């Protein structure tokens, strides 16, 4: 028996925004689109419908149809409540953790329901923006779990975004490994590689923090110059190779504001790029106290 919060049970018994959105031909100021993830064969499926106010690029209405358990229904309902009224760019920043928090938490074995909601949202917005599914990062890279059709890059993204540390958590969050189990060893390898990268970054950050304690602090001009240099030489070439880019917008103390461009701006791994790639690199090379945010 799962230990569900009152909010989960409330939205399961009385789901908000269930159903579909009909397209009304006479109103050309709005667009209707849906995004779909999962499959009934795999146990959970979600179709998220959005009504988009075209001029404002914002979500006028959101509804869902889902096939799944208590937490799948509650997560879908929570998602629709969270995104109504947001611009599409704001909606793309909604994470699966936001969905779980709205519900007052989910049992860890049910976290994949919140991930499913966030991915259906991305799928709907990508479809509306005409971004082909084959440019979605999750569709690239080696297929790791054939039971659930989950790629290497998707597993890496979920590990980084949710700070996962065990294979069991990966299964709970994205279902990979929850079928025949033959991919578990590969998931172990991916997890080990992500954790090793993270440890290396922490070591570098600690070393720089130590240096910072024992050497003269950077002036603001030195800091900006160094940030610009790292962006130009070590980050932009890597992002541009995947059709993305980044520009430095401003630096306020330790807050670094950047503008993500091209594929990075609408990428599902936007947050992972911002924190896992750009912030980690700048902390390692410039100052361990930097906080990178997108404008």
* Residue ranges in contact with ligand FES by CB under 6 A: 145-147, 176-183
Question: In whole angstroms, what is the distance from residue 203 CA to residue 188 CA?
Answer: 22
**Least gap, CB of 157 to ligand FES (angstroms):** 17
Contacts of 244 (CB under 8 A, 6+ apart): 260, 261, 262, 263, 264, 265, 267, 273
Question: In whole angstroms, what is the distance from residue 194 CA to residue 119 CA?
Answer: 21
**Least gap, CB of 185 to ligand FES (angstroms):** 10
Residue closer to ligand FES by CB (options 105, 149) is 149
**Least gap, CB of 36 to ligand FES (angstroms):** 21
**8 Å CB contact between 156 and 176:** no
Residue closer to ligand FES by CB (options 45, 82) is 45
**Least gap, CB of 39 to ligand FES (angstroms):** 14
Residue closer to ligand FES by CB (options 105, 179) is 179
Residue closer to ligand FES by CB (options 133, 185) is 185
**Least gap, CB of 126 to ligand FES (angstroms):** 25
Residue closer to ligand FES by CB (options 120, 176) is 176
Question: In whole angstroms, what is the distance from residue 123 CA to residue 118 CA?
Answer: 9
Contacts of 204 (CB under 8 A, 6+ apart): 283, 284
User: What tokens does 182 get?
Assistant: 């033959």
Question: In whole angstroms, what is the distance from residue 109 CA to residue 86 CA?
Answer: 29
Count CA within 13 A, CB hemisphere, residue 231: 22
Q: Which residues are catalytic?
A: 42, 113
Question: In whole angstroms, what is the distance from residue 244 CA to residue 224 CA?
Answer: 22
């Amino acid at each position: 028996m799962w230990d569900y919060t009152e909010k989960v049970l409330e939205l399961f018994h009385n789901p908000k925004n269930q159903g579909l959105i009909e397209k009304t031909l006479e109103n050309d100021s709005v667009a209707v689109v849906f995004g779909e993830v999962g499959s009934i064969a795999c146990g959970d499926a979600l179709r998220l419908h959005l009504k988009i106010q075209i001029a404002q690029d914002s979500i006028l209405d959101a509804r869902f149809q889902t096939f799944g358990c208590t937490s799948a229904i509650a997560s879908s309902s929570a998602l629709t409540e969270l995104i109504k009224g947001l611009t599409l760019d704001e909606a793309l920043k909604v994470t699966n953790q936001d969905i779980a928090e709205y519900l007052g938490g989910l049992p860890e074995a049910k976290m994949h329901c919140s991930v499913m909601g966030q991915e259906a949202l991305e799928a709907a917005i990508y479809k509306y923006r005409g971004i082909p599914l084959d440019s979605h990062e999750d569709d690239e890279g080696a297929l790791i779990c054939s039971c659930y059709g989950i790629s290497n890059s998707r597993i890496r993204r979920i590990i980084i975004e949710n700070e996962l540390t065990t294979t069991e958590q990966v299964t709970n969050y994205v279902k990979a490994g929850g079928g025949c189990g033959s991919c578990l060893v590969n998931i172990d390898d991916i997890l080990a590689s992500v954790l090793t990268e993270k440890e290396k970054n922490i070591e570098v950050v600690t070393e720089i923090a130590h240096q910072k304690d024992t050497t003269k602090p950077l002036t603001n001009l030195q800091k900006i110059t160094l940030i610009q240099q790292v962006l130009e030489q070590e980050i932009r070439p890597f992002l541009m190779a995947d059709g993305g880019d980044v520009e430095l917008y401003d630096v306020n103390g330790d807050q670094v504001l950047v503008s993500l461009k091209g594929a990075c701006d609408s990428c599902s791994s936007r947050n992972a790029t911002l924190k896992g790639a750009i912030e980690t690199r700048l902390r390692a090379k410039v100052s361990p106290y930097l906080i990178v945010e997108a404008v």
